[in-house]
A = this chain, B = another copy of it.
Amino acid sequence: MKPPAADPTLLEKLVLANRILYRYGVVDGFGHVSARHNASAGHFLLSRNMAPALVRRDDIVTFDFDGAALDAEGRRVYLERFIHAEIYRVRPDVQAVVHSHSPSVIPFGVTGQMLRPVFHMSGFLGEGSALFEIRDVAGDTDMLISSSVLGVALATSLGSRSTVLMRGHGSTTVGASLEQAVYRALYAEVNARLQMQAKSLGEVTYLNTQEAAKAAAINDTQLPRVWELWRQEIGPI
């Protein structure tokens, strides 16, 4: 089945998102970022199975919410496309999803600690991060979200939050736009590093719920500033 054509600007942003996340160390050879299809309900856009740093427009594949590729044409797809699919299914507010093994975030997931907003840049963590323990739903696995069933379980853990930690694996961050999802994934990593350091110094005063909500709202108005920087740093794609 031929998928509807996606907005070229969205495709370009998705390629940029892959490159930015690599440049800033949120993803390495692994991890992926997707965007909800702009012109077709029930579909999303995600690269074929490859390193994010190398993704080009032609590598973007269209998937439905069961994780089926519409136009893979024999190319391998990510084992964990179900992370994206099941979140899009239940979170109509979500337009973009980043799954990564962002390093500073890992220690929180494996110790059951919650990410909390150390500074205004991470106001989106105001409700704290959610925690997904795959053992609770599937016993001893390969840790991957490789089925719709596991995707549903992860999306349930995420709930209405921005970020879910996946014990022994990584994390997933969502946004109302690609810009916001990339911003959140990057500052979740920054916040995690700061939170570890702050905890080693003494008792931490986190942003409270009101501060976090207000900071998140005002920071969203500044997204074009940082996206322009990232776009210029990546250069032509």
A101 to B194, CA, bound (A): 11
A54 to B119, CA, bound (A): 24
Q: What is the distance, in angstroms, from A137's C-beta to the closest C-beta of chain B? A: 14
CB neighbours (8 Å) of A141 from chain B are 211, 214
Residue pair B198, A106 in contact (C-beta under 8 Å): yes
Residue pair B201, A168 in contact (C-beta under 8 Å): no
A190 to B111, CA, bound (A): 17
Determine if A118 is an interface residue (Cβ-Cβ < 8 Å). Answer: yes
A side interface size, CB within 8 A: 66
Residue pair B142, A214 in contact (C-beta under 8 Å): yes
List residues 24-40 of chain A with CB under 8 A from any CB of chain B: 28-30
Q: Quick one: copies of this chain in the complex?
A: 4
Determine if A130 is an interface residue (Cβ-Cβ < 8 Å). Answer: no
CB neighbours (8 Å) of A229 from chain B are 29, 51, 53-54
Residue pair A144, B201 in contact (C-beta under 8 Å): no
Interface string of A89-111 (1 = CB under 8 A from B): 00000000000010110111011
Known: A103-B190, A120-B143, A199-B201. 13 other contacts (CB 8 A): A29-B225, A30-B225, A51-B226, A51-B228, A112-B202, A113-B202, A118-B168, A120-B144, A120-B169, A142-B214, A143-B207, A143-B214, A146-B218
Residues of A in contact with B (beta carbons under 8 Å apart): 28-30, 49-51, 53-54, 79, 101, 103-104, 106-108, 110-113, 117-121, 123, 135, 140-144, 146, 167-170, 190, 193-194, 196-208, 210-211, 214-215, 217-218, 222, 225-226, 228-230, 232-233
